[in-house]
């Protein structure tokens, strides 16, 4: 068996940023179909943990085993403003060889009427939905979501919860940093403490 035994696994992980220890001795394991909510005070290191898991930061110590195709959604929606929403989703679905999932993604996040608008013209909540739709369109197995519900209205939060449930039902994994409940069934919680 490979390291992590087919799970996302972090062992004895430490994170240093700007020369400061943000956290250490962190262990986690997420299996296919599971969701982990990462909670904790501002500055506790939730975003840093997600960036480590995404491979965007290097751990100061410890190991990460991630055998999954991964989609990372940070605070920044990172949409290409001149592309229409449909072009943006189609582009990422093609990069990730995810076929027609971009169409499903538009529907899942109630974006069909906005498909032909350049993404720069979307409202902030619509941009967040677009970035979530891109996550769906990617076909990635592991979703790393940093405060995914920021700016969403109540029906959109429900849509996010439904998308997460469908993703998990298909064997997908989710790690989400959040200050609010996301309506995910049976999610485990990791509470991060600020390093002293
Ligand atoms: N690029 C950076 N360089 C140096 N320090 C950083 C950098 N980015 C973040 N930090 C520091 O790392 C610590 C953890 O930040 P992080 O964004 O991971 O926290 P968080 O738990 O996600 O916070 P929030 O709830 O406010 O989003 C903070 O003290 C922050 O100042």
Query: Mean pLDDT, consecutive 10-residue segments, the chain of 196 residues?
Result: 81 96 96 97 96 97 97 93 92 78 92 96 96 94 97 96 97 96 92 82
Q: What is the pLDDT of residue 77?
A: 92
Residue 47, Cβ density class (10 Å: 0-12 exposed, 13-18 middle, ≥19 buried): middle
- The protein residue whose alpha carbon is closest to atom 4 in ligand 1 is 18
- The protein residue whose alpha carbon is closest to atom 31 in ligand 1 is 43
Determine the atom of ligand 1 nearest the C-alpha atom of 49.
18
Q: What is the pLDDT of residue 1?
A: 47
Determine the atom of ligand 1 nearest the C-alpha atom of 44.
21
Q: What is the pLDDT of residue 3?
A: 72
Best residue among 14, 20, 43 to mutate for probing ligand 1, ranked by most atoms within 8 Å of CB: 43
pTM equals 0.94
Q: What is the pLDDT of residue 196?
A: 66
Contacts of 22 (CB under 8 A, 6+ apart): 15, 16, 45, 48, 195
Best residue among 14, 20, 47 to mutate for probing ligand 1, ranked by most atoms within 8 Å of CB: 47
Determine the atom of ligand 1 nearest the C-alpha atom of 15.
12
């Amino acid at each position: 068996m490979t390291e992590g035994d087919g799970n996302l696994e972090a062992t004895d992980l430490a994170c240093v940023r700007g020369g400061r220890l943000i956290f250490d001795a962190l262990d986690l394991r997420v299996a296919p179909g599971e969701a982990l909510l990462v909670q904790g005070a501002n500055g506790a290191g939730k975003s840093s943990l997600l960036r480590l898991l995404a491979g965007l930061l290097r751990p100061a110590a410890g190991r990460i085993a991630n055998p999954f195709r991964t989609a990372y959604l940070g605070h920044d929606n990172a949409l290409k403003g001149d592309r229409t929403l449909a072009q943006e989703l189609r582009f990422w679905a093609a990069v990730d060889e995810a076929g027609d999932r971009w169409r499903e993604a538009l529907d899942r996040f109630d974006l069909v009427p906005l498909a032909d608008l350049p993404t720069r013209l979307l409202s902030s909540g619509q941009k967040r939905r677009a970035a979530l739709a891109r996550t769906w369109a990617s076909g990635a197995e592991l979703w790393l979501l940093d405060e995914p519900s920021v700016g969403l209205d109540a029906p959109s939060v429900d849509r996010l919860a439904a998308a997460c449930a469908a993703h998990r039902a298909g064997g997908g994994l989710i790690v989400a940093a959040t200050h609010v409940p996301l309506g995910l069934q049976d999610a485990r919680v990791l509470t991060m403490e600020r390093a002293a």
